[in-house]
Structure 1
Amino acid sequence: MIVMKFGGSSVANAERIRHVASIIGAYQDKRPVVVLSAMGDTTDHLLEAADEAVAGNADISRIEKLHRDTADSLGLSGTDLQAVDALLSELYALLTGISMIRELTKRTRDYLVSFGERLSVRIVAAFLQSQGIPARFYDAWDAGLISDSVFMNAELSDDVWETIPEALGSYRDGIQKEIPVVTGFIAKDMNGNITTLGRGGSDLTATMIGAALQAEEIQTWKDVDGILSADPRIVARAKTVPLVTYEEAAELAYFGAQILHPRSMVPCRKAGIPVRVKNSYNPAFEGSLIIEKHTAEPSPVRAITAVKNSTLIDIVSTRMLGASGFLARIFDLFLKHDISIDVIATSEVSVSLTVHTNADLSGLVEDLKDIADIRVKTGRSIITLICDAAHSSSILASAFSALAENGINPEMISQGASKVNVGLVCENTLADKTVRTLHAAFFE
């Protein structure tokens, strides 16, 4: 048994759904569980409809048109659409209620957003059935997905390790023949309220189902040939990375690569289930595999990522020379202002670190001025080498040799505690050039 996850772009319209159905059909003998996101921009359209409802206007016309037009193009009608019709009626009733009270709570917002995934699985399951592929749609809670009650950013309950096998065990054991088509991103709490799982929620749904059912493999389908050595929009000659570890994949995701969110890798890592990243436009290609450890000696650098539009903060204080509480006071101030740090480099009397540019730094900077001299530099990029830091000397030697030849001088260097990344900070204007220079040095 395998788990196959398809994102919103993969099911954005009738043409894409036909293609996804052909992929699912090709893997039918692997007994897939399918996890789907909402169609295209449906989630955004639902939130826009919510804003209109708060202003007094309940309107589902754009959402209804997309899903009915898609169903018509797929040749679905009559009983195929009963579940879709019922859901659209429920959605309109919800928006009408919001328009009457002119208020949208977090709980109601999660209920509203859930309609995207719920409509998606009903249409895809009906189309699979029409193509002779036995399928059954599942809302996440019917597949055993239970969460806490933190609306808009819920975490799955530990009970799911038992409730998912209870719900889908008959399919895993070969008793049920219909392929489960499950909503990603959503769950229900113990009180029966619908919740959303936050960033990487659909990936988390897929990996949790795969881990709980002890699947052979979890597949996440995208529009590129797996995990690439760099962003193909920056490096035209980016290559597929055939194998990375869970730890390396987490660092890649954190520092800008569009693969599984780090939190979604926790269940599959706990259960030891491999994850494969595949291209829905090139299904025959093997893609990239994410596992616990490398099975052979890998190349020193696996991939290069770039996160643009960061802010670099230099904190220097000779007054705190040798003071044991220097770092503690700095971190306390970041906690006070609820600002997270991306990368950091320290010495005895100075700290350089990066934060997201959209963070409000005014209060933090004023507080830091009491203990240090502060320099804030916006428009910076974090370039990260995902690598074997045990060979950091040779990696950095090659990196700085290439950068020097191209007149690039990083403003900060940081080696991650995970020992799988080395980060460089440079100006935004140099980011693409830096990535291309490093990629040429290590991959070309």
Structure 2
Amino acid sequence: MKRTVEKIGGTSISNTQAVLENVLIGGRKGAELYNRIFVVSAYSGMTNRLLEHKKSGEAGVFSLFSGAGNKWAWTEALGAVAAAMEEKNAEMFGGEPEQAVADNFVRERIEDVRNCLIDLHRLCSYGQFRLDENLATVKEVLSSLGEAHSAFNTALLLQKHGVNAKAVDLTAWRDERNLTMEERMQDALDKIDLETELPIVTGYASCRDGLVRQFGRGYTEVTFSRLAALIGADEAIIHKEFHLSSADPNLVGSDKVCKIGLTNFDVADQLSNMGMEAVHPKAAKILRQAGIPLRVKNTFDPKDGGTVICADYAPEKPRAEIVTGLKGVFALEVFDQDMVGEKGYDAAVLEALTRHSIRIVSKCSNANTITHYVEGSRKALKRAAADIEARLTGAAVSTSRVAIVSVIGADINVPGITARALTSLHDAGVPLIGLQQVSRKTDIQAVIQEEDFDTAICALHETLVERAGVSVRPAAPLRPAA
């Protein structure tokens, strides 16, 4: 029988009824319910509360705990997390006996974490112990709370509906064993009969080097892909709140975009670079090397087969598949008249960007200028620029805010496509700052002013996708109709 490992994202798992009806049960009965493994993310917004807000930077429990301000402010934030978790329990179980069980689980975990952090504060009041040496571990512990909560609740909800579900906790809670991720997964699976039990697995999995430390906030997809590789799944499936489409339907219009039915991991990598993650690049690498195809499905459109991403797909005819982009990018330009013919300039810039945790989106250079298009805070950029100028004494470093729009496809080697892209931007009144296209023919990147972003996306999509007459049915909106 076909076996799948499936991941449910935070926004989807938060819509409990839709996930239950469309994904977890979805009309299945008996044996049809099993031979599936679900990896679940924390409920939407919960990890932001536990760490810090991913976009706004608003302080969460971790940032308050690690900050230099009121050393006890984090306790109030942790209490707010507990209240939010219990509110979710009430929404799911509505005062029925399962709610008390879910609330007890939350209280036990929250109080254990509270006591642990208080003890750590007390220990670090002695000079021999340093708080900063333990912060990475604190971040791992706090991250695991969100997934433990959603996995426990999901299994409890399925049990209420007569499904033999089992919560599988990979967070190493009160587990003193120092296992690798694969060892921890195998240990859990050895206790489960996939023919008759439905495992609901935490998206956080404890490992020796720290999951968050290695993979950041995309760790749930790494857990999902490694689990799929471990069992040799026939297919890996990610359930999201949208179809993988030729552009953002909210921007271009749901009647104009097309669902992408089949593509390859090269396209998935380019999308990830533009912040439009179909799958975390590390997770994609694991699935690609294991020979496991990935299917991306819309939680709210269960009858649709979704998008299949595989390693060996090549289109019969070259074409542009997706037009997307990234706002909030900075162009960090290093100019030195004496750069030509000299070595080491690029290495110095890369070292500074790495030191200050600034992500490189793209780069270009000529005889005396190197420009990196990056994501990071202004504070980090200022520090990186100062480091570069200190290292390269003759260099002038400048930064400016820009946006990048990208035309992506498994094979965009279409005669004249770059010229058509440039013409469409010109006709739409979008000034061009820069243009890049690599020899692999998977994407074209245009650097523009941020205020021209929406106009550029619509213009490029109309010219390169809509006029190309892609014969795929229109994609569904990002959200189901009310």
Shift of the alpha carbon at 1:401?
Answer: 2.0
Q: Distance in 1 between matches of 2:157 and 2:358?
A: 46
Q: Tell whether the 8 Å contact from 2:319 to 2:413 is kept in structure 1 after alignment.
A: yes
Given the alignment of the two structures, is residue 355 of structure 1 paired with residue 359 of structure 2, yes or no?
no
Name the structure, 1 or 2, with higher relative contact order (CA <8 Å, separation 6+): 2
Match of 1:370 in 2: 393
**Identical aligned residues as a percent:** 23
Match of 1:153 in 2: none
Q: Distance in 1 between matches of 2:236 and 2:158?
A: 20
Which of 254, 270, 274 in structure 2 is aligned with 1:251? 270
Match of 1:135 in 2: 165
Post-superposition Cα deviations, 1:260-296, rounded to whole Å, max 9, x if no partner, equal 1111112111111111111111111111111002254
Given the alignment of the two structures, is residue 210 of structure 1 paired with residue 212 of structure 2, yes or no?
no
Which of 422, 426, 431 in structure 2 is aligned with 1:409? 431
CA 1:85–1:31 in 2, change beyond 3 Å: closer, same or farther?
Answer: same
**1:284 is paired with a residue of what secondary structure?**
coil
Q: Which moved more, 1:204-213 or 1:18-27?
A: 18-27
**1:407 is paired with a residue of what secondary structure?**
coil
Shift of the alpha carbon at 1:82?
Answer: 3.9
**1:319 is paired with a residue of what secondary structure?**
coil
Q: Tell whether the 8 Å contact from 1:211 to 1:267 is kept in structure 2 after alignment.
A: yes
Q: Distance in 2 between matches of 1:264 and 1:24?
A: 22
Q: Tell whether the 8 Å contact from 1:343 to 1:414 is kept in structure 2 after alignment.
A: no
Q: Distance in 2 between matches of 1:416 and 1:330?
A: 22
Match of 2:128 in 1: none
**1:140 is paired with a residue of what secondary structure?**
coil
2:394 alignment partner AA: I
Post-superposition Cα deviations, 1:310-359, rounded to whole Å, max 9, x if no partner, equal 11233343323333455445445545655443211222333333122523
Which of 426, 429, 444 in structure 1 is aligned with 2:448? 426
**2:217 is paired with a residue of what secondary structure?**
coil
Match of 1:313 in 2: 332
Match of 1:59 in 2: 79
Q: Which moved more, 1:26-35 or 1:46-55?
A: 46-55
Match of 2:54 in 1: none
Q: Which moved more, 1:363-372 or 1:404-413?
A: 363-372
Match of 1:6 in 2: 8
1:403 alignment partner AA: L
CA 1:232–1:365 in 2, change beyond 3 Å: closer, same or farther?
Answer: farther
Unpaired segments ≥5 residues, structure 2? 52-59, 66-70, 125-130, 467-482
Match of 1:37 in 2: 41
Given the alignment of the two structures, is residue 185 of structure 1 paired with residue 204 of structure 2, yes or no?
yes
Q: Distance in 2 between matches of 1:69 and 1:340?
A: 40
Q: Tell whether the 8 Å contact from 1:383 to 1:431 is kept in structure 2 after alignment.
A: yes
2:89 alignment partner AA: R
Q: Distance in 1 between matches of 2:351 and 2:96?
A: 58
Q: Tell whether the 8 Å contact from 2:143 to 2:204 is kept in structure 1 after alignment.
A: no
1:38 alignment partner AA: A
Q: Distance in 2 between matches of 1:314 and 1:76?
A: 60
Match of 1:109 in 2: 139
**2:394 is paired with a residue of what secondary structure?**
coil
Match of 2:24 in 1: 24
1:433 alignment partner AA: T
Q: Distance in 2 between matches of 1:19 and 1:240?
A: 21
Equivalent positions of 1:73-222 (< 5 A) are 73=94, 76-77=96-97, 82=101, 85-99=104-118, 101=121, 105-140=135-170, 157=180, 160=182, 164-165=185-186, 167-168=188-189, 174=195, 177-189=196-208, 198-222=216-240
TM-score, structure 2 normalization: 0.77
CA 1:213–1:304 in 2, change beyond 3 Å: closer, same or farther?
Answer: same
Q: Tell whether the 8 Å contact from 2:212 to 2:219 is kept in structure 1 after alignment.
A: no
Q: Distance in 2 between matches of 1:66 and 1:344?
A: 46
Q: Distance in 1 between matches of 2:230 and 2:212?
A: 20
Shift of the alpha carbon at 1:413?
Answer: 1.5
Equivalent positions of 1:250-329 (< 5 A) are 250-329=269-348
Shift of the alpha carbon at 1:232?
Answer: 2.2
**1:230 is paired with a residue of what secondary structure?**
coil
1:423 alignment partner AA: Q
1:118 alignment partner AA: A
Unpaired segments ≥5 residues, structure 1? 149-155
**1:308 is paired with a residue of what secondary structure?**
strand
Q: Tell whether the 8 Å contact from 1:6 to 1:36 is kept in structure 2 after alignment.
A: yes
Given the alignment of the two structures, is residue 385 of structure 1 paired with residue 415 of structure 2, yes or no?
no
Q: Tell whether the 8 Å contact from 1:306 to 1:381 is kept in structure 2 after alignment.
A: yes
Aligned length: 423
Given the alignment of the two structures, is residue 436 of structure 1 paired with residue 458 of structure 2, yes or no?
yes
Q: Distance in 2 between matches of 1:436 and 1:306?
A: 11
Match of 2:245 in 1: 228
Shift of the alpha carbon at 1:383?
Answer: 1.0
TM-score, structure 1 normalization: 0.83
Over the aligned positions, Cα root-mean-square deviation in angstroms equals 3.3
Q: Tell whether the 8 Å contact from 2:170 to 2:185 is kept in structure 1 after alignment.
A: no
Q: Distance in 2 between matches of 1:268 and 1:385?
A: 24
2:39 alignment partner AA: V
